[in-house]
Amino acid sequence: MQKVLFVCTGNTCRSPMAAAIANDAFKDRGMAFWATSCGVFAVDGTTASPHALITMSDRGLDISAHKAKMVQTEEVSAAYIILAMTRGHKDHLTALFPEHKDKIHVMNVDDPFGGSRKLYEACADQMKQYIEAFNWEEYI
């Protein structure tokens, strides 16, 4: 299985939601990918935000066991594809791991942290659309 790594800032909202959405899509399509997540400024062990938990639960996805983790060399090296939430995340990752720059892509998803439940829903919808439209076959 090829590992997909989603990266955001704190690894409590966007990237864990994106990993859950992607894993569900991979399973439905029978694709040989597995998604995980991390953050460029994550506090290791932090749980997913309450709105992220509810948003995913409403979609039948469980991220209650999620614990945030800071991006690590091993995670980046093991990833086949890295999907950063913003251009800033990509730039940060490229500065830290220039040898992996070719596998880093940008999703352009704004951070819902501290926002309303509706904002989290919109964020999840946007990520789902991106994940469904991404040309995964190019990476098989």
Residues assigned a catalytic role:
8, 14, 111
The DSSP string of 30-65 is: T-SEEEEEEETT--TTPBPPHHHHHHHHHTT---TT
Tokens in use for 65? 């066991």
Backbone dihedral angles phi then psi of residue 66, each to the nearest 5 degrees: -65, 135
**Alpha-carbon torsion, ordered 103, 125, 17, 58, to 10 deg:** -160
Instruction: Tell the residue number behind the tokens 């990266």, with chain if given.
Output: 7
Kindly give, in sequence order, each residue whose CB lies less than 8 Å from that of residue 28, ignoring residues fewer than 6 positions away.
none
